[in-house]
Amino acid sequence: MSALNHAAFNEWCTAVPDWADRIKSGRSLVPELPLHDAYAEKALAIFKELRNPDLDGFPTFGETCDVWVFDLVRVIFGSFDPEIKKRYLREFFVMIPKKNGKTAIAAAIIVTACVLNMSPEAQFILVAPSIELARNAFDCAAGIIKRTARITKVFSEPRESTRTIFNLNKRIPSKIMIKAADGDIITGLKNATVLIDETHVFATKPAAKGLFVEIRGALSHPSNKHFLLQITTQSKKPPVGVFRSEVTTARRVRDGKIKKPMLALLYELPTELVKDGGWKDEDTWALVNPHLGRSVDWDFLRDAVQTAEDEGAESLALVASQHFNVEIGTAQGDDGWRAQAYWDGAGEETLTLDELIERSEVITLGVDGGGDDDLCGAVVLGKEKDTGVYLAWCRAWCQPEVLKLRKSIAPSLETFKKDGDLVICSQPFEHVDQVVELTCKLKATGKMPEEFAVGLDIAGLPELLTALNLEGLEEPFITSVPQGWRLQSAVKSLPLRLKARLMLHGAQPIFAWSIGNARVEVRRSNSYIEKELAGAAKIDVVIGLLNASELMFRNPVPSGRGLDDFLANPVKVI
């Protein structure tokens, strides 16, 4: 990179490391940037004159929007130098709660960009995750054009069949297109500005990863004039797939951990204001709802929170995510396992398998699953020296076919693979080989008990049992843990341990996902967590945790013998 380019790169650094202080004091989240003011103001003037078709009387965006929207518009267009036709910032990521005018603002920015277009045959594409959302966005863009007299004649009549609107400038023709990820083919993008509405919904779309690769490929040329804008709310479920990747990147840019030609505006509360339900404090609402009092109504939020309080944890989690951008760690339903309520608060991101082994005086291993359309989950559970605190770490495996048979969870599984917590097996019994390898590693520490060290449902894992036996690991070192209601001591005990922080875990996303999938059914006073209750969602890691816990409840003591000692002098069963 030349000295000139390096200087320009630093000038366009968009990091806002003091974002938490800015949020709490109500200051702008946009850093000082060397914008091309004349072009920025020209674009802002056009944007402000556009009329909002969703509001009574069709007021202009200049009349209804707060300063944060104007700051965003100025940066989007002011980061382009029209004289040398160079764009300094290519991506913009905005995460803001519902009711803040997100879709209307997005449509108005697309219309503004098309009005200012200088590239023949340019495309201005708004991509929505579903046909219904695409139709809403199209109606909004068409309505803006229809209600804004100054630009009505610049555009053609909207073509609803293709959701396309043409700019009639014969010298520099262009068009606005609204695409639905559900039904439209989005390939071959070039000379295109792209706006993605509700990125979080794309997490469930198998083709989403390819779509983002396609879009970024179109923006990669040095002479590119266009940009990618994402406007989304927080996810209704624990973030996975492309959404998790996109929001993680945005946060790292905002925090100054990486440098990219991106501006990230994330209206979310600092952790200390979220914990223990702090987001329910009305003093925090305006911090993440910059249109509170405009398009966001105080009484609506009060009613939503009160209703959610009455309905239970699942409703509260949904309201928190959609109206206050609180990221959900686990799905908390009324029939959910109570461990879900305390899981996030018991996480330690630094707790790796090796650290667990080092901190533990005794270790058990629970395993579950492993069929062709199933996951195999293994949980290592240690009891910490001196404190007696349980320490949990997990690993999972699946066959490639699972991603095809369970398409609804395929994006989640891809994310967990990227995390390193899930192995997509290249061989049918790779999970068996790796569980055996894990068992031998744990046994070699001398911290596993002589008896009841490995717990599993033997009926479901015959190949694993055979493979362990071939390594000299047999009963009673390996034991079958009774399933169904017989696991209820763990089902009832572990939530209390989590609540008291007498159980900690490695904050692995796949662990949180699995815990969130668990559902409890009470039959004749017995509590059950079973796979049938979870449906397509997978809880093999949860069952592995329950199996390991049932063994730990027996108060085992470490054998003190490594693997070689054990094989040389196996436990004799009388």
From CA 291, how far away is CA 77, in angstroms rounded?
Answer: 22
13: helix, strand or coil: coil
Token pair 């009673």 is at which residue?
Answer: 476
Q: Inform me whether the pLDDT recorded for 9 exceeds 90.
A: no
Q: Measuring CA to CA, which residue among 99, 100, 97, 92 is closest to residue 71?
A: 92
Per-residue pLDDT, averaged over 99-111, amounts to 92
What pLDDT is stored for residue 438 in this prediction?
97
From CA 105, how far away is CA 52, in angstroms rounded?
Answer: 9
Q: Computed over its alpha carbons, how large is the radius of gyration of the chain?
A: 27
271: pLDDT confidence band, cut at 50, 70 and 90? confident
Cis peptide before 428 (omega within 30 of 0): no
Per-residue pLDDT, averaged over 389-400, amounts to 96
Q: Which residue has the higher pLDDT, 231 or 208?
A: 231
Query: Which residues, at least 6 apart from 14, have a Cβ–Cβ distance to it below 8 Å?
Result: 31, 33, 89, 253, 254, 262, 263, 264
Lowest mean pLDDT among 257-261, 274-278, 479-483: 274-278
Q: Inform me whether the pLDDT recorded for 278 exceeds 70.
A: yes
From CA 302, how far away is CA 8, in angstroms rounded?
Answer: 46
What pLDDT is stored for residue 493 in this prediction?
94
From CA 329, how far away is CA 392, in angstroms rounded?
Answer: 17
Instruction: Give tens-digit pLDDT for 19-67.
Output: 999 999 999 999 999 999 999 999 999 999 999 998 999 999 999 999 9
From CA 354, how far away is CA 352, in angstroms rounded?
Answer: 5
Lowest mean pLDDT among 107-121, 180-194, 199-213, 506-520: 180-194
223: pLDDT confidence band, cut at 50, 70 and 90? low
What pLDDT is stored for residue 1 in this prediction?
38
* 8 Å CB contact between 359 and 384: yes
Cα 352 to Cα 302, 411, 419, 430, 443: the distances in Å are: 41, 24, 13, 22, 17
By the 10 Å C-beta count (0-12 exposed, 13-18 middle, 19+ buried), 118 is classed as: exposed
From CA 203, how far away is CA 318, in angstroms rounded?
Answer: 17
What pLDDT is stored for residue 333 in this prediction?
42
Q: Inform me whether the pLDDT recorded for 10 exceeds 80.
A: no
Per-residue pLDDT, averaged over 468-483, amounts to 90
What pLDDT is stored for residue 85 in this prediction?
87
Instruction: Report the Cα–Cα distance between both ends of the chain, in Å, rounded.
Output: 74
Per-residue pLDDT, averaged over 189-195, amounts to 80
Instruction: Give tens-digit pLDDT for 508-520.
Output: 999 999 998 887 7
Q: Inform me whether the pLDDT recorded for 301 exceeds 50.
A: yes
What pLDDT is stored for residue 535 in this prediction?
46
Q: Inform me whether the pLDDT recorded for 332 exceeds 90.
A: no
What pLDDT is stored for residue 182 in this prediction?
63
From CA 253, how far away is CA 250, in angstroms rounded?
Answer: 5
What pLDDT is stored for residue 520 in this prediction?
77
Lowest mean pLDDT among 63-72, 188-197, 311-320, 410-419: 188-197
Per-residue pLDDT, averaged over 398-409, amounts to 86
What pLDDT is stored for residue 572 in this prediction?
43
228: pLDDT confidence band, cut at 50, 70 and 90? very high
Q: Inform me whether the pLDDT recorded for 188 exceeds 80.
A: no
Instruction: Give tens-digit pLDDT for 143-160.
Output: 999 999 999 999 999 998
Per-residue pLDDT, averaged over 124-140, amounts to 88
Number of H helices, E strands in the chain: 25, 18
From CA 151, how far away is CA 43, in angstroms rounded?
Answer: 14
Q: Which residue has the higher pLDDT, 273 or 363?
A: 363
540: helix, strand or coil: helix
Q: Report the 10 Å Cβ neighbour count for 26.
A: 9
Q: Identify the CATH homologous superfamily for domain 3-267.
A: P-loop containing nucleotide triphosphate hydrolases (3.40.50.300)
Instruction: Give tens-digit pLDDT for 334-368.
Output: 456 888 888 988 999 999 999 999 999 999 999 99
Q: Measuring CA to CA, which residue among 391, 370, 308, 343 is closest to residue 513?
A: 343
Per-residue pLDDT, averaged over 442-471, amounts to 90
Q: Which residue has the higher pLDDT, 286 or 134?
A: 286
What pLDDT is stored for residue 336 in this prediction?
67
Q: Inform me whether the pLDDT recorded for 140 exceeds 60.
A: yes
What pLDDT is stored for residue 323 in this prediction?
95
Among 3.30.420.40, 3.90.1010.10, 3.40.50.720, 3.30.420.280, what is the CATH number of 342-568? 3.30.420.280
What pLDDT is stored for residue 403 in this prediction?
87
Q: Give me the chain's average pLDDT, please.
A: 87
So where are the chain's domains?
3-267, 273-328, 342-568
